Structure 1
């Protein structure tokens, strides 16, 4: 397990991370709670740059028998890769226990913050993660782990540039459009060329608001982009990348070309 983010103790209560591996004296009876409606980052993909640390909000519901008091139970979301939240290959536990509000005698609505640091990730960690949850009885150290509450994409951030030359250019002449597609390398803490990816060259005519695709090219072994077009009218050229299951989508800032 490469990540086990700490969970802050509240008013001296036992932090969730401190019991990720139960102590030998821990009780065998797990907290009688059930998690549902887990939503992390509003269901949107989490994108991390080369050195970024991202904090996202998680919301979830906790249900329990009316006879069970939850005053001594801490809860929080778990993001993980593997077959179970408890024994995950990679695991992130909420930074702080969930803050819960009582809905009824058996139901709590809760929210918590989850922190993902790029510096703690391998590039191979990009992809679909699972969401689960952890409950801790602070009196007995007993824990309950719950799996398969949903999924969340975790992606490497991409960057894209565009440069159209010459500027200005005569109508009917050739424009050369260059650029570069890179993505975050979490292991090196830098951005590196993203090779062999389909990237669309798009054009937006001056005075309009919509881009249209002119052609699609493939990034080189270093992530470089280069193609030519015939200059027709004033407007903006940009490269646009649709993203992959492990890398975010990105569009470059448009480069204005004056056609004379």
Structure 2
């Protein structure tokens, strides 16, 4: 479809339709001559996914077509990026991986198009193992159609680069007593949890170092006071001496499989 100098394509996004859209049996695959480069997912940052909220990380890439095909006529070609891990690019294309949602291509030369859009991730259907929190490879399903219609060639290819997909983390805090006498002891509790893609809920993140931070009333800057290690259930607990009014919070810097987490500050009045 051609619209105001750009071509558009809607990727199938959910369920069995998505799998059939990416089905590319290796025995039937043929080279398309299409090359895909400059693939950037989510601005090069990790993709952090929770338990239910759908994510659409931005995606950009360049398509270079073989001789005889024009970048302005997308009815004759297609290039749909996807993410996969733990398998080959061909099997990743067959299973669907993490798929392209909607994308638009802008012809820059007769045979080159620069494309932008997004991936589509629904953790309730696309992420069924916590082992999916890992580094994913980038694949592209390329297709060419004959001038009169009918598929001419289909080929899944690997693009350069990787994408880290991580589990969303959450932190809570409670500082007490409130108010407290100056010089008295404050007990700061809370929890560190992260998305569980098997149970589809947030469960405790054990054995992680978490910073206790304090912001004096009237200031905008938090400073780390001490650290604590989360328990087997993700619980956090420590004590500090009260000196001035201010806000207390727990802050977690993230890990190779989980995102960062910072609790909202809990104010304690010191008298």
Q: Are 1:123 and 2:130 matched, yes or no? A: yes
1:19 deviates by 5.1
* Residue in structure 2 matched with residue 207 of structure 1 by the alignment: 218
| TM-score normalized by the length of structure 1 | 0.87
* Residue in structure 2 matched with residue 8 of structure 1 by the alignment: 12
* Residue in structure 2 matched with residue 76 of structure 1 by the alignment: 80
Structure 1 residue runs of 4 or more that deviate by more than 4 Å after TM superposition = 14-17
Partners of 1:45 and 1:59 in 2: CA distance: 15
Q: Say if 1:235 and 1:258, in contact at 8 Å, map to a contact too.
A: yes
Q: Say if 1:199 and 1:216, in contact at 8 Å, map to a contact too.
A: yes
Q: Are 1:92 and 2:95 matched, yes or no? A: no
The aligned length equals 248
Q: Are 1:231 and 2:242 matched, yes or no? A: yes
* Residue in structure 1 matched with residue 117 of structure 2 by the alignment: 112
Structure 2: which 5+ residue stretches go unaligned? 1-9
1:242 deviates by 0.5
Partners of 2:44 and 2:108 in 1: CA distance: 23
* Residue in structure 1 matched with residue 143 of structure 2 by the alignment: 136
Partners of 2:132 and 2:96 in 1: CA distance: 8
* SS of structure 2 residue aligned to 1:50: coil
Partners of 1:15 and 1:251 in 2: CA distance: 36
Partners of 1:130 and 1:257 in 2: CA distance: 47
Higher helix share: 2
| TM-score normalized by the length of structure 2 | 0.84
Alpha carbons of structure 1 residues 169 and 60: separation in structure 2 relative to 1, 3 Å: same
Q: Are 1:157 and 2:160 matched, yes or no? A: no
Partners of 1:233 and 1:18 in 2: CA distance: 61
Partners of 1:151 and 1:76 in 2: CA distance: 16
Partners of 1:78 and 1:191 in 2: CA distance: 27
- More displaced, 140-149 or 51-60? 140-149
Partners of 1:155 and 1:90 in 2: CA distance: 19
RMSD between aligned alpha carbons?
2.4
Alpha carbons of structure 1 residues 19 and 131: separation in structure 2 relative to 1, 3 Å: closer
After the TM superposition, which residues 220-259 of structure 1 pair with which residues of structure 2 at under 5 Å, given as runs?
220-259=231-270
Q: Are 1:18 and 2:21 matched, yes or no? A: yes
